[in-house]
Structure 1
Amino acid sequence: MILFAHGARDPRWAQPFQRLQKMTQESLPGTTVALAFLEFMQPSLPELVASLVKEGCQQVTLVPIFLGQGGHVLRDLPVLVDELRVSHPALEVKLVSAAGEDDSVLSAIRDYCLKAL
Structure 2
Amino acid sequence: MSKQRALILFAHGARAASWAAPFERLRDLTRAREPSVRVELAFLELMSPRLPELMAALTADGIDDVTVVPVFLGQGGHVLRDLPLMLDELRATYPQTSIKVVEAAGENAAVLNALSDYCVSALS
Q: TM-score, normalised by structure 2?
A: 0.93
1:59 and 1:103 mapped to 2: Cα distance? 25
Structure 1 runs not aligned, ≥5 long = none
Q: List structure 1 segments (4+ residues) > 2 angstroms apart after TM superposition.
A: none
Aligned residue in 1 for 2:37: 31
Q: 2:71 aligns with which of 35, 58, 65?
A: 65
Q: How far is 1:26 from its partner?
A: 0.2
Instruction: Answer yes or no: is 1:115 the counterpart of 2:116.
Output: no
Alignment partner of 1:84 is 2:117? no
The alignment yields a C-alpha RMSD, in angstroms, of: 0.4
Q: Confirm whether residue 16 of structure 1 aligns to residue 45 of structure 2.
A: no
C-alpha distance in structure 1 between counterparts of 2:89 and 2:65, whole Å: 15
Output the TM-score relative to the length of structure 1: 0.99
Question: Where does residue 3 of structure 1 map in the other structure?
Answer: 9
Distance 1:33 1:101 in 2: 21
The gaps in structure 2 that reach 5 residues or longer are 1-6
Question: Aligned partners of 1:8 and 1:38: how far apart in 2?
Answer: 9
Identity among equivalent pairs (%): 57
Which residue is 1:105 aligned to?
A: 111
How many Å apart are 1:18 and its aligned residue?
0.1
Q: 1:59 and 1:81 mapped to 2: Cα distance?
A: 13
Please state how far the C-alpha of 1:82 moved relative to its aligned partner.
0.2
